[in-house]
A = this chain, B = another copy of it.
Amino acid sequence: MKISELGEFGLIERIRRQLPPPHSGVVRGVGDDTAVLRSPQGGYLLATCDVQVAGRHFLLGKAAPDQIGRKALAVNLSDIAAMGGTPTYALVSLGLPADLDVEFVDALYRGLNAEAARFGVSIVGGNLSSAEQLFVDVTLLGEVEPEHLLLRSNAKPDDVVMVTGDLGAAAVGLDLLQAERAPNLLPAMREAVLQAALTPTPRVKEGQIIARSGLASAMIDISDGLAADLGHICDESRVSVRVFAEPLPIANSTVEAAVAVGRDPLDPALHGGEDYELLVTAPRANAKALIALVQSQTGTPLTIIGDIIPPNEARTFIRGNGRMIPLHARGWNHFR
């Protein structure tokens, strides 16, 4: 069987089943945003890695090298954010075509260094290899107090589902980057969705506030798309979910840009991926306090978009007219 037939998540599940049981020091191995490891002296160490490959995760000539560097770190920062953690150290593994300009690498590192400085991260190592296809593989470490760790696996029926910021902008930005002719769009709107696609802002502070509040039950970052990442929470928590179209936070610029490229804005919001927003579940009674806390400390809105339901009910999306349709994961699959 080819990998393309099994798909990314099928392959991850297959690898996971073959892994031997981990040490006693492993609080959480494969199956969450980051690994969670007990430090010998107490405290939890977080570790994650995510690669950006040319032509897959970024388009040479469309993304500037400093943007590629920023994003390569940002996507990892978002995983640490999803655990409520504080990022600390990064290792950077570069695969570089031998005929690439050294100045490209300089600019890539300018982006990496700027993003690292912004979030208090030190780049402490890495390696270089020649490769036909440029790639940037970042490993990021972080830490979290055991009592504040938020996993994917603790959502409960009747919890509400909330999301930080807004959805779908990055996916529409990617549509614009790939469009042969620039659609008719106000420059500010164009800029907003392009920025979401090229230099996403990881919600590190928001993640820490949510985790430390003790008000939430589960958290994940949206990299594969809202529907797919909600699916991960449901799978790991053994629950189901109901999402409402009406409250979904979609910025005006995303709506305008989606329409300009001929796309229903709900589609990128549900399935676009690469939002790097946080998806949070919390007991219904805690929602108001959590929304007020995040808003007041970061200015970032947290919006209720649905609720967790028992596992025997279907995962459902409820449109504005009340029509219920199945909520299928249709996010990014690298091997499709």
Contact = CB atoms under 8 A, between A and B. Distances in A.
A289 interface: no
* Residue among A6, A34, A43, A130 with the highest chain B CB neighbour number at 10 A: A130
B18 A109 contact: yes
A188 interface: no
A25 B124 CA distance: 11
A322 interface: no
Q: Say how many copies of this protein the assembly contains.
A: 2
Interface stretch (A87-95, A239-247, A252-260): A87-95
* Range, interface on chain A: 35 or more
Given A50-B127, A122-B29, A139-B47, A96 B335 contact: yes
Interface in A6-24: 6, 8, 11-12, 14-15, 18-20, 22-23
The prevalent SS among residues of A at the interface is mixed
A314 interface: no
A132 B133 contact: yes
Closest 7 A/B residue pairs (Cβ):
A41-B41, A35-B124, A22-B122, A35-B125, A139-B139, A4-B98, A29-B124
Given A49-B93, A95-B135, A129-B51, A122 B335 contact: no
A89 B37 contact: yes
Given A124-B37, A127-B51, A137 B93 contact: yes
A313 interface: no
Interface in A217-262: none
Nearest to A106: B18
A295 interface: no
A151 interface: no
Given A12-B128, A124-B37, A139 B91 contact: yes
A269 interface: no
Contacts of A137: 49, 51, 93, 137
